[in-house]
Structure 1
Amino acid sequence: MGTSAASDEDPYLLTAKGIEEPPMGWKSSLRYLGPGLIISASIVGSGELIATTALGAEARFALLWLVIMSTTVKVAV
């Protein structure tokens, strides 16, 4: 097996034709946002589940803004 055959079969090898231009503007960036939101929403640990339910039981809806803000920041981070 030569080096050219190995580079054609290796999906993890970065080549010039595999590089895309970054999206410009909000409209073209939105289509890349969906998968990131799904992945970040699926990575919720048991500690977060326990802490948020305990916080909800104690503070009721007074700190709901904190949950929404932290979820939004989590996607950006």
Structure 2
Amino acid sequence: MQEPAPDNDRNECLKKAESCLERAGQDIARRTYWIGQAAEWIRRARSTETEASSKSRDMTHEISGGRLIPKSTAK
């Protein structure tokens, strides 16, 4: 069986983070919980990035205003 590529793992983590943010918008009573869950999935995505090639490491995301935002790669 083939190992999943780090980019695929990263993308899955980011999809789960986005899903948590959508739930945060729908479940106002537990909004803080869902944003925390999204932050954890983003942390996992970043962890996957460190294991990936430098090309994929350049792309990171953050939560801003309850949304998943790609960070600029310009330095």
Which structure carries more strand by proportion? 2
Which structure carries more helix by proportion? 1
Same fold (TM over 0.5): no
TM-score by length of 2: 0.30
Q: Which has the higher contact order (CA 8 A, sep 6+)?
A: 2
